[in-house]
Each structure stands twice: as structure tokens, then as C-alpha cells.
């Protein structure tokens, strides 16, 4: 009987935890969107600078800046190049968090490359309950799966113990 109560409590805790994932992904999306907007503004400014000075493309301008004699100019060129790479990475993250399904969002959030950003988002996170039915259903499915995985060893052990002959039984 105690095992059944513990099972129900564990499931409830897992379900409440799984319900936080959609809310956390929304918070993460808001954070990423702000960062994306700032990065997009910076890349647009770099593109306008390249167009103003007659470069065929931004990469041509960056390549020329990398060959400059000044260390500051070369470092700035590398920073500009890194900003464009960051923009592409942010676009992928925003797309995943906006249009991805529940498990894609979970995978994205738990990717080791996201841990620094995730820790900053978690610092400002307040637990709540999602309102969308799909988020509740996916959370329920995830909680059921994790609960079954956690209890499977115990139930297998109990089943084997029942089938094993008792050492003191009469034959």
C-alpha cells in the first residue's frame, strides 16, 4: 500500500515538473527573441556599412577587414563574422521554440550548448501551469513515461520474487 502512495506522489511530482517545460520554453523564447532582435539590428548595420562603402557582400568587407594591418580592425572583423554566425544560431533556436513540438523544445533546452542561457532564464523563472491543451497532454504523456521507467525495475523485481520458489516451502 505504501508503494502505491509513493507511486502516486511521484507521478504527481513528475507531472507538475513536466508542466513547467512549456512555460520554461516560453520564457526561453522571450529571452532568445530579445537577443535575436539586438543581433539582427547589429547585422543590419554591418550590411548597410558594406553597401554604403560599395562592397559586393558583407563577407567581402569582412575578408578585407581581416587583412587590415591594425589588430583592432582585424578583431572587429572577427567579431562581426561571429555576430552573423550567432544570428543563424538564434534563428534556429527561435524557430524551434516557436514552431517545434514539445519534445523538440525539451531537446533544444537540454542541449549542453544551451545550459548557460538556460541557467539565466531559470533564475527569473516562476512556476505556473500552461493553458494550452497540447502542453498539458504532452506533459501528462512525459510524466507517465518517466514514471513507468522509474518503477519498472521495482515491479520486475517483485514479479521475479513471486515466481521464485520460496527456500523454506514444502515440496
At residue 158, the pLDDT reads: 78
DSSP line for the chain: -HHHHHHHHHHHHHHHHHHHHHHHHHHHHHHHHHHHHHHHHHHHHHHHHHHHTT-SSHHHHHHHHHT-S-HHHHHHHHHHHHHHHHHHHHHHHHHHHHHS-HHHHHHHHTSGGGHHHHHHHHHT--------HHHHHHHHHHHHHHHHHHHHHHHHHHHHHHHSPPTT---
Confidence band (pLDDT; 50, 70, 90) for 166?
A: low
Q: How far apart are CA 25 and CA 106, in angstroms?
A: 8
CA distances from 144 to 10, 16, 76, 108, 152 (A): 10, 12, 51, 21, 12
Confidence band (pLDDT; 50, 70, 90) for 170?
A: low
Q: Is 168's pLDDT higher than 70?
A: no
Query: What distance separates the 2 farthest-apart alpha carbons in the chain?
Result: 97
Confidence band (pLDDT; 50, 70, 90) for 159?
A: confident
Residue 127 C-alpha cell reads as: 512556476
pLDDT digits (tens, 9 = 90+) for 18-70: 999 999 999 999 999 999 999 999 999 999 999 999 999 999 999 999 999 99
Q: How far apart are CA 16 and CA 12, in angstroms?
A: 6
Of all residues in the chain, the percent with pLDDT exceeding 90 is: 68
Q: How far apart are CA 147 and CA 24, in angstroms?
A: 21
Residue 129 C-alpha cell reads as: 501551469
Q: How far apart are CA 61 and CA 81, in angstroms?
A: 10
Amino acid at each position: 500500500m505504501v508503494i502505491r502512495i509513493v507511486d502516486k506522489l511521484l507521478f504527481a511530482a513528475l507531472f507538475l515538473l513536466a508542466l513547467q517545460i512549456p512555460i520554461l520554453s516560453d520564457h526561453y523564447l522571450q529571452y532568445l527573441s530579445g537577443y535575436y532582435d539586438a543581433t539582427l539590428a547589429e547585422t543590419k548595420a554591418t550590411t548597410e556599412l558594406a553597401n554604403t562603402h560599395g562592397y559586393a557582400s558583407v563577407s567581402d568587407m569582412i575578408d578585407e577587414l581581416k587583412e587590415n594591418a591594425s589588430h583592432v580592425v582585424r578583431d572587429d572583423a572577427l567579431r562581426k563574422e561571429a555576430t552573423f554566425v550567432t544570428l543563424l544560431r538564434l534563428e534556429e533556436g527561435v524557430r524551434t521554440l516557436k514552431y517545434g513540438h514539445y519534445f523538440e523544445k525539451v531537446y533544444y533546452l537540454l542541449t549542453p550548448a544551451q545550459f548557460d542561457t538556460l541557467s539565466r532564464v531559470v533564475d527569473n523563472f516562476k512556476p505556473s501551469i500552461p493553458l494550452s491543451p497540447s502542453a498539458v497532454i504532452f506533459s501528462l504523456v512525459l510524466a507517465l513515461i518517466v514514471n513507468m521507467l522509474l518503477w519498472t525495475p521495482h515491479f520486475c523485481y517483485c514479479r521475479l520474487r513471486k515466481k521464485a520458489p520460496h527456500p523454506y516451502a514444502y515440496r
